[in-house]
Structure 1
Amino acid sequence: MTAYQPDDLIRTDIRAYLAQHEQKSLLRFITCGSVDDGKSTLIGRLLYDSKQIFEDQLTALEADSKRVGTQGQAIDFALLVDGLAAEREQGITIDVAYRFFATEKRKFIVADTPGHEQYTRNMVTGASTADLAVILVDARKGVLTQTRRHSFLAHLLGVRNIVLAINKMDLVHYDRAVFDRIRLAYRAFASEIGVTDFKAIPVSGLNGDNIAAPTQNMAWYEGPTLIEHLETVPVDADREARGPFRLPVQWVNRPNLDFRGFAGTIAAGAVRPGDAVRIVPSGRTTTVDRIVTFDGDLNEARAGQSVTVTLAEEVDCSRGDVIAAAGDPPETADQFEATIVWMADEPMLPGRAYVLQLGTQTASATLRTPKYQVNVNTLEQTAARTLELNAIGVATLALDRPIVFEPYEKSRELGGFILIDKGTNATVAAGMIRFALRRAANVHRQHLDVTRERRAGLKNQRPAVLWFTGLSGAGKSTIANLVETKLARMNRHTFLLDGDNVRHGLNRDLGFTDADRVENIRRVGEVARLMTDAGLIVLTAFISPFRAERDLVRQLMAPGEFVEVHVDTTLAAAEARDVKGLYAKARGGQLANFTGIDSPYEAPEAPDLHVDTATESAEDAAERIVRWLLEREEA
């Protein structure tokens, strides 16, 4: 029999430690507030007082504190969290810093979020998964603009547990009157945004007063310390578990022909073998056969657990579908009213198509002009044509297909989404579904006996959209007009949509801002699609400066029907022609948002046809385009 080795003791201790912490509940919380309210110092103190700092870390921290020159204190606790060099140099928090710590009663993940308004998007990221928000207020300054902004955002993102940590009480001589005045001022504001309950705690992050232990400096305060409150606050962690079962499918697990499971993290409710479930959106029903995990099958799984579920019958189910309680499934829709937090430097462009990602689902989404923008400082709803960086507004969202959802106030997992720019792949917005639009469920496509193929057959031609794009003065309208004339002589049925002509009627309400240009092209694209349904060859002559909108129109058409024709010329050549005098007005400051001068033009990267007006006449170009079109019909 082998002796019991020290390594075995260590492994046993580690397993016991992990088992002990595994049974503890987890609280995710954020700290937020205005700049220099002491958020990072507070978190550093929480880590220090909960004994989460190893000896070597403490030694390094003491050395760093001396190097950066702290004011009479041995340890600068903020350095535990402000990990970015830029933050240490500026003395502010830029990124979202996540830290884990634990006490005897609970585990915690804390997110230190930025205080600057320009980093509001980072604060939104931290709050999106939080159960509680610690709103810090500098006792010397009271409730500030960022206090209101972060409180509004936290409440908007579903954080219902609020702690008002009135910090730096040592700098106001631990005056109870200061604490009471700030608490009452915050209560007045909180009631306006729907925060009906919060816990106010006077603290000093620097000195540790009321962080982990009570302090005689504020003997007048009889409430819990910050850590005591965090350990005992009812987080309603079982709210999701009490709801109806929801399992967004992340992956179909098919290692062999004998096993087919559906893997994902349970978003809500509980499930057991034998439970009746419905696959959404298909609506197929079946029952759960097994709940499979790495450690073996389970008799029950609840919200928050990652599992693989096998079903009693072979049903069509794939990534993006939701396995739900058969008697209480979630809704599906393709149009919503949503709250949008814009997170990109470039403003939102109504009408532009973005990628929507909601859980494991993706769809192409288009935003309409915002219904209103929220001024988080005054809570006023103001008119807006777009949303700028860090702006919050309410807008209508239209998708290219129905998705499975629940309102955000009911489910973060099925109600919260992000928008991604198709060109840059950058996240541009976070959103929360408020409700589906009624017309999303009531409007259905009507079957028509006369098909688009039959209409095209009657005209003896193949529908197409010849999309002429280029700078103003490049010759788009001239060449498009020549092409249509030649096609008409061949008895082809055509229609020319010209940019100037359309703005006299259909788009007379639009200007020339980026947002209006996007909407201009979206409308023209929809009209062109209807005309191809009629069997026509459609010619369009528009600057259409953005690739994203030209790609959107291409996606509206049947494969092969969209023909992008880049009428290419230099800016100098286009400006030299200036038949309409537009360049002269733009140069003179009389015409704003003019493409090529103070508004960008994104040239096609791979057009179907390229016309260089420096080397080819309009007549020759038109003849070549017609010949290409006829050869395409014969192919």
Structure 2
Amino acid sequence: MDLLRLATAGSVDDGKSTLIGRLLYDAKAVLADQLAHVEERSVNGLDLALLTDGLRAEREQGITIDVAYRSFATPKRRFILADCPGHAQYTRNMVTGASTADLALLLVDARAGLTEQSRRHATIAALLRVSHVIVAVNKMDLVEFSEERFDDIVRQVLELGAKVGLHEIEFIPISALNGDNVVDRSSNMPWYAGSPLLERLETIPVEPPAVHGARLPIQVVLRGEGGTRWAAGRLAAGTLKAGDEVVVLPSGARTRVAEVRDADGTAEQVDAPLSVSVRLEDEVDLARGELIAALEDAPEPTRELRATLCWLGDRPARERDRFLLKHGTRTVPARIDSIVGRIEFETLEWPAADELRLNDIAHVGLRLGGDIAADAYEQCHATGAFILIDEATNDTVAAGMVSA
């Protein structure tokens, strides 16, 4: 069976945790002791949200705070599910949950329609280039299963998608509390001819990684028999095999792959994202933080980046502020050279700004204290992403995506 990684997102009280609880419960993916624990803590009937809201503070406040990961399987597919917080204060957690997702499941309350936080999450899904988006219009039972109300929300989301770059969005009307169109088709909405949510999750295609030249961030250099040197790390993209022409970046030294090894020893070919060790034909200077890339499409080393930042730090950032930039296994000093524009989620415009605050998303220019070899994020997620680190506290303060 293949694996689908999905992340849920939406505003507070849109019913994300209840939906995931219903999905797990109706798909019979809840262990007996888990169900007994939820039954014990439920006040009015079975509170399915407790299956994912595991923190004490979450149970007391009735909101999701941290990303809750759940793994389950049906006879057709395996799933890793990230239930992301809906509150604006925890938007940075949503960035974490959606960064590895194949599919974003956006919930919209049928009564409230699109909110600012719905717009925020849709924008993040678009920026992270999530492959598939399903909008679940929840609480249809509270609007008397109105087709007109569902169509109105579809129109709102399509208008938003056109502005932020979300395409091929699917829509499913549901009631997570009662299970309508979650696992089984609902008789309350005969006007909906599509599949229930679980069936769609089981059948939506999971695209293989885009064909891309090899990218191997060197994690460690090993000594082998006879003093031979091996570059080891986790292959971020592409494949490696003996005879491949490669370049070591940022030095630019060109050579060929003499031998590759995986966990079982010498291999004919190793595919991403497996760990690999590589012996090169020439005695090239190698060190942690360098990148071995396929010669035909290797990125150019640079000390200037245009990027989109999701600001995760509690303290605001301004132009000229200095950080450490971590890209793959390489870390270099970095400075915010310019804040080109910061998105306003009400208008979806990007006006100029003089600072970045918690949960802001902005286009910025960065000046680096060392060369890095980065791809555009839309071309290769693994080598187009980076983080900024506060030098004083060692906290991760921003997640970045390199612009083309």
- Per the normalisation by structure 2, the TM-score is 0.95
Structure 2 residue 131 is the aligned partner of structure 1 residue 160: yes
Counterpart position of 2:71: 100
Out of 297, 309, 316, the residue aligned to residue 347 of structure 1 is 316
Q: How does 1:208-287 map to 2 (within 5 A)?
A: 208-239=179-210, 242-254=211-223, 257-258=226-227, 260-287=229-256
Letter in 2 for 1:139: A
Rounded Cα–Cα distance in structure 2 between residues aligned with 1:52 and 1:314? 53
Q: How does 1:285-324 map to 2 (within 5 A)?
A: 285-324=254-293
Deviations 1:104-124 (A, max 9, x none): 222221111111111111111
Structure 2 residue 171 is the aligned partner of structure 1 residue 200: yes
Change in Cα spacing, 1:51 to 1:370, as seen in structure 2 (3 Å) is same
Percent identity at matched positions? 49
2:343 alignment partner, SS class = strand
Structure 2 runs not aligned, ≥5 long: none
Q: CA deviation at 1:234?
A: 2.5
Rounded Cα–Cα distance in structure 1 between residues aligned with 2:107 and 2:393? 36
Q: How does 1:74-89 map to 2 (within 5 A)?
A: 75-89=46-60
Structure 2 residue 331 is the aligned partner of structure 1 residue 362: yes
1:382 alignment partner, SS class = coil
Q: Is the 8 A contact 1:160 1:195 kept in 2?
A: no
Change in Cα spacing, 1:427 to 1:48, as seen in structure 2 (3 Å) is same
Rounded Cα–Cα distance in structure 2 between residues aligned with 1:142 and 1:407? 34
Counterpart position of 2:32: 55
Aligned-residue RMSD, C-alpha: 1.7
Rounded Cα–Cα distance in structure 2 between residues aligned with 1:308 and 1:103? 36
Counterpart position of 1:563: none
Rounded Cα–Cα distance in structure 1 between residues aligned with 2:73 and 2:304? 43
Structure 1 runs not aligned, ≥5 long: 1-23, 436-635
Change in Cα spacing, 1:300 to 1:99, as seen in structure 2 (3 Å) is same
Q: How many residue pairs are counted as aligned between the two chains?
A: 404
Q: How does 1:458-497 map to 2 (within 5 A)?
A: none
Deviations 1:565-609 (A, max 9, x none): xxxxxxxxxxxxxxxxxxxxxxxxxxxxxxxxxxxxxxxxxxxxx
Counterpart position of 1:379: 348
Rounded Cα–Cα distance in structure 1 between residues aligned with 2:37 and 2:30? 11
**Greater C-alpha radius of gyration:** 1
Q: How does 1:553-572 map to 2 (within 5 A)?
A: none
Change in Cα spacing, 1:50 to 1:265, as seen in structure 2 (3 Å) is farther
Counterpart position of 1:29: 6
Q: CA deviation at 1:41?
A: 1.1
Letter in 2 for 1:48: Y
Q: Is the 8 A contact 2:105 2:134 kept in 1?
A: yes
Deviations 1:393-443 (A, max 9, x none): 1221000011010111112211111111111111111111114xxxxxxxx
Counterpart position of 1:400: 369
Q: CA deviation at 1:258?
A: 4.9
Rounded Cα–Cα distance in structure 2 between residues aligned with 1:247 and 1:225? 41
Letter in 1 for 2:8: T
Rounded Cα–Cα distance in structure 2 between residues aligned with 1:118 and 1:221? 35
Rounded Cα–Cα distance in structure 2 between residues aligned with 1:49 and 1:289? 53
Letter in 1 for 2:31: F
Q: Is the 8 A contact 2:224 2:230 kept in 1?
A: no
- Per the normalisation by structure 1, the TM-score is 0.61
Of Structure 1 and Structure 2, the greater helix share is in 1
Q: Is the 8 A contact 1:50 1:101 kept in 2?
A: no
Of Structure 1 and Structure 2, the greater strand share is in 2
Rounded Cα–Cα distance in structure 1 between residues aligned with 2:222 and 2:16? 43
Q: How does 1:414-563 map to 2 (within 5 A)?
A: 414-435=383-404
1:199 alignment partner, SS class = strand
Rounded Cα–Cα distance in structure 2 between residues aligned with 1:56 and 1:310? 50
Structure 2 residue 77 is the aligned partner of structure 1 residue 114: no
Letter in 2 for 1:169: M
1:370 alignment partner, SS class = strand
